[in-house]
Amino acid sequence: MKKIIICIFVICINHQAFSKPPRPIFQRMKVKVNNIIIDVEVADTLEEQSYGLMYIEKPLKENQGMLFVYDYAKPLTFWMKNTFIPLSIGFFDKNKKLINIEEMQSSSLLQMNYDTAKSQGLAQYALEMNIGWFKKNNVQPGHRLEFFNSNKGLKSSSP
C-alpha cells in the first residue's frame, strides 16, 4: 500500500511539473522588415514576455512571428525553455534597427540546459521567427523594423 501511495504522489508531482500554464492572449499587429510584411503576436508585458512561444508544437506559418517590446533598450537574453520549435531571433535597437540575428534550437520538457541568444548591444525589440527566416528573406543587420498600425494599443510605453 505504501508503494502505491508513493507512486500516486510521484505521478501527481510529475503531472504538475509538466502541465503548461494557460497561454496569455497576445495582441496581434503587422510589422515590416526588408519590405516583408509579418503578422506578429506582441509580447509587451512581463507575463507575455515570460511565456513567449513556449509549448508551441508546430512551426509558425510563413511570415508569422512574435515581437517582444520593451520599455527601453537594454541587453537582452532569450532562452528556449519549453520551446519545442527552433527559432531565429532578431534584436533591434531603440530606433528599430536590426543589431544581430541568432539561431536557437528547440528544447524538451526534461532538458535542464537551454539554448540562449543575446543581443550584441542595447535592444528594445526582439523578433522571433521560424529558424532560417532572416537568412531566407535576406534580412540583415542594419535593416529596420516598421510598425504598420500605430503603437496605440501596445501595453508598453515604447515609441
Compute the distance between CA of residue 51 and CA of residue 33 in angstroms, rounded to an integer. Answer: 24
Q: What is the DSSP string of 73-129?
A: EE--EEE-TT--S-EEEEEE-TT-BEEEEEEE----TT-SS--EEE-SS-EEEEEEE
Q: Look-up: residue for cell 508544437? A: 57
Q: What residue segments make up the domains of the chain, in order of their start?
A: 23-147
Question: Is the C-alpha dihedral spanning 140, 141, 146, 152 positive or negative?
Answer: positive
Nearest Cα to 132, choosing from 90, 79, 81? 90
DSSP state of 33: E
pLDDT digits (tens, 9 = 90+) for 44-61: 999 999 999 999 999 999
pLDDT in 10s for each residue of the chain, 159 residues: 554 444 444 444 444 455 778 999 999 999 999 999 999 999 999 999 999 999 999 999 999 999 999 999 999 999 988 889 999 999 999 999 999 999 999 877 676 777 789 999 999 999 999 999 999 999 999 999 999 765 544 544 343
Beta bridge partners of 36: 33
Distance CA 82, CA 94 (A): 29
Give the CATH superfamily of 23-147.
Answer: Protein of unknown function DUF192 (2.60.120.1140)
- Report how far residue 115's alpha carbon sits from residue 75's, in angstroms, rounded to the nearest whole number: 17
